[in-house]
Amino acid sequence: MHRLYRYKDFTIEVNSESIYGIPGGKVLSIPLRYVAVLSISSGESSTTIQRLSFGQSADRPFATEAEALMRGYGAAQSIIDGMTIGSALGSMR
């Protein structure tokens, strides 16, 4: 699943990617969990500032595609807020 969001002067692109596995020893491999892959680009250019993947570390992938998308979007908002606060503090010096 793919979503595109606008937040402040940035574009956030969030994709959910499936982690496949074999539940309970069955033969077929099906999506068991999902990770969020996000790209953040500045409104001024289409160059990607950051590309990150969430949900793979510490064996904590997301249970649904919707959860992966929303958590990825929330993480991107936090990153952008940190970047904008950091640049505002730098301009005060």
pLDDT given at position 38: 86
pTM reported for the whole predicted model: 0.71
Instruction: Name 72's Cβ contacts closer than 8 Å, sequence gap at least 6.
Output: 14, 16, 36, 37, 38, 54
E-only strand ranges, the chain: 2-7, 10-21, 30-42, 48-54
Q: What is the pLDDT of residues 27-71, one digit of tens each?
A: 666 667 888 888 888 866 666 666 777 666 556 778 888 998 998
